């Protein structure tokens, strides 16, 4: 990482211009369906295993950059040893001066020959905080250190931006909150954070279920960009109504509303735990909380990340992103599937690639629709009737070409092949990235089953993700780290304290939302 305050200062000249921008934003590209290939080519090129392997590889590349967003940048706190008066070196050069003249001086625009085109506007308050030091550092990080990946994210943004803006507008939320998806997941539907948050909007399972998303071993609608967006917009609307500020709502989306409210109550003139006046908080309140370190580091950086991503996404060419290849919005038909069916079979019926069907249906986490359950499957636009007719005439034994197996302790690839009566070569062909000498407990292996009867025991259940248990030391200090799916009531029962006492001790109410990773203080009995 080559981040420095001097380079951040150079970015400031561009940011100042944005702070005074006016005019309308750009339009969205027309919608088209995913690319369709000849069915034979799709079968040879896009086996399910290869398609899933590519998705996993892409998600891993996204996650590496997302993890580094709050790990690699030196935090302003680490520079406290410097004198506050030690400002970054002044920026020199005619380019910066010309940019400032073009943006601020009408006569100067004509002088430097700048086009009189309108500048983009923001419906979140970018101008007041665009010169924040942390914003500048993240601008630099996106433009330099993670540039290659950010180009990909901007391309994905074009695919979903129109849909997300429509949902935000319907809830009377600022449409530029769409850029939260850049810092949450890079618009990856398959992203999984270290805390086990999933999807484009990075929902924990408990919060996703609270907002109507199905999360089970077969279907995870946190990965469905359309349903997850609806849930996220509803969540953000609730947070803004409760906190009275867009940036506080964004911070609460990251950290949980309880932490934000506790921080507000600590501020001079804060709500003081009595509800207070909603007009006493604003977007500036977030930066007051961050300056006083009332928020954890990741949350202190969350809004600066949003502002930096917004600045670039609204006008990518100004920040040197000239090579973005925007993806077209998804369009599709929907068919009803009544029992377990492989997405590779759906792809064959639709004469398209497995990759195209996976992208339209990322919520089916195992590449198969659930057995014994009626679900809706998306297929490329114009193929719905054709696929439905072909599916109705498809023998039940042809609906499944594979099952998934999860490795248990001590199993070998040869034993697994023998169990399902397939050859070792077939297993290796269906799992391009498998290493037979390095199987992991819980690892997913695709078992080819084409032309065979699926055995009754083939529908194995994926292992539950492991979470760090609260240590006795933590418990003895009177605190509890919230695990996925836990409720405040369960935690109160575990420690034998009244629910009201636990809520009051942590500044929570019955309407408060807790998230996995939150640390609750346990009152003395």
Closest Cα to residue 417, out of 455, 448, 444, 443? 448
pTM for the structure as a whole: 0.71
Q: Rounded to whole angstroms, how far apart are CA atoms 80 and 386? A: 66
479-481 and 519-521 as β-strands: parallel, antiparallel, unpaired? Answer: antiparallel
| CATH class of the domain defined by 472-521 | alpha beta
Tell me the angle at which helices 302-314 and 283-291 cross, rounded to the nearest 10 degrees. Answer: 130
| Cβ atoms of residues 413 and 427 within 8 Å | yes
pLDDT, residue 468, reads: 39
Distance (Å, rounded) from C-alpha 309 to C-alpha 524? 44
Taking 50 as the pLDDT cut, the residues of the chain under it are 1-46, 72, 75-117, 272-276, 466-477
Q: Looking at residue 469, what is its pLDDT?
A: 39
Q: What is the pLDDT of residue 519?
A: 84
Is the distance from CB of 23 to CB of 109 less than 8 angstroms? no
Give the number of other Cβ atoms within 10 Å of residue 75's Cβ.
13
**In the 8-state DSSP scheme, what is residue 378?**
E
- CA 121 to chain centroid, in Å, comes to 25
Angle between helix 147-170 and helix 302-314 axes, rounded to 10 deg: 90
What are the extents of the domains in the chain? Answer: 86-319, 472-521
Contacts 24+ apart (CB under 8 A), 82-88: 88/5, 88/6, 88/8, 88/9
| Residue 16 exposed, middle or buried by CB count within 10 Å (0-12, 13-18, 19+) | middle
Would you identify the CATH topology of the domain 86-319?
Lysozyme (1.10.530)
* Separation between Cα atoms, residue 27 and residue 174, nearest integer Å: 17
């Amino acid at each position: 990482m080559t981040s420095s305050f001097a380079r951040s200062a150079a970015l400031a000249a561009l940011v100042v211009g944005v702070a005074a921008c006016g005019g309308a934003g750009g339009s969205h590209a027309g919608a088209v369906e995913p690319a369709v290939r000849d069915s034979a080519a799709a079968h040879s090129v896009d086996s399910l295993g290869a398609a899933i392997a590519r998705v996993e590889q892409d998600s891993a590349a996204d996650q590496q950059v997302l993890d580094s967003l709050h790990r690699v940048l030196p935090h302003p706190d680490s520079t406290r040893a410097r004198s506050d008066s030690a400002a970054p070196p002044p920026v020199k050069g005619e380019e910066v001066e010309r940019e400032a003249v073009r943006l601020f001086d009408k006569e100067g625009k004509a002088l430097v020959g700048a086009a009189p085109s309108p500048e983009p506007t923001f419906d979140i308050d970018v101008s007041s905080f665009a010169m924040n030091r942390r914003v500048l550092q993240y601008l630099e990080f996106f433009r330099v250190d993670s540039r290659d990946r950010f180009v990909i994210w901007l391309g994905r943004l074009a695919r979903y931006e129109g849909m997300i803006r429509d949902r935000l507008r319907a809830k009377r939320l600022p449409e530029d909150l769409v850029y939260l998806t850049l810092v949450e997941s890079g618009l990856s539907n398959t992203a999984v954070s270290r805390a086990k948050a999933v999807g484009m909007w990075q929902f924990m399972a408990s919060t996703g279920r609270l907002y109507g998303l199905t999360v089970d071993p077969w279907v995870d609608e946190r990965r469905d960009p359309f349903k997850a967006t609806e849930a996220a917009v509803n969540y953000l609307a609730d947070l803004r109504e409760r906190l009275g500020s867009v940036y506080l709502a964004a911070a609460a989306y990251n950290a949980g509303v309880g932490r934000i409210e506790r921080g507000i109550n600590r501020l001079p003139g804060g709500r003081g735990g009595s509800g207070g006046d909603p007009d006493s908080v604003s977007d500036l309140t977030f930066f007051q909380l961050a300056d006083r370190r009332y928020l954890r580091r990741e949350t202190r950086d969350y809004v600066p990340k949003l502002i930096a991503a917004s600045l670039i996404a609204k006008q990518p060419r100004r920040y040197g992103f000239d090579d973005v290849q925007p993806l077209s919005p998804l369009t599709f038909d929907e068919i009803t599937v009544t029992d377990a069916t492989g997405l590779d079979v759906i792809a064959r019926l639709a004469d398209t690639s497995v990759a195209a069907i996976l992208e339209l249906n990322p919520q089916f986490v195992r590449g198969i629709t659930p057995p014994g359950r009626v679900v809706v499957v998306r297929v490329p636009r114009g193929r719905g009737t054709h696929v439905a007719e072909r599916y109705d005439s498809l023998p039940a034994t042809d609906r499944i070409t594979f099952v998934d197996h999860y490795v248990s302790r001590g199993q070998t690839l040869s034993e697994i092949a023998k169990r399902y009566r397939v050859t070792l070569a077939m297993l290796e062909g269906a799992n391009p990235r498998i290493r037979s000498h390095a199987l992991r407990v819980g690892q997913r292996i695709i078992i080819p089953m084409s032309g065979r009867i699926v055995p009754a025991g083939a529908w194995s259940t994926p292992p539950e993700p492991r979470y760090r248990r609260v240590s006795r030391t933590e418990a003895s200090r009177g605190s509890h780290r919230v695990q996925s799916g836990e409720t405040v009531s369960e935690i109160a029962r575990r420690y034998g304290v009244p629910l009201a006492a636990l809520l009051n001790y942590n500044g929570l109410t019955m309407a408060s939302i807790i998230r996995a990773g939150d640390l609750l203080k346990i009152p003395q009995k």
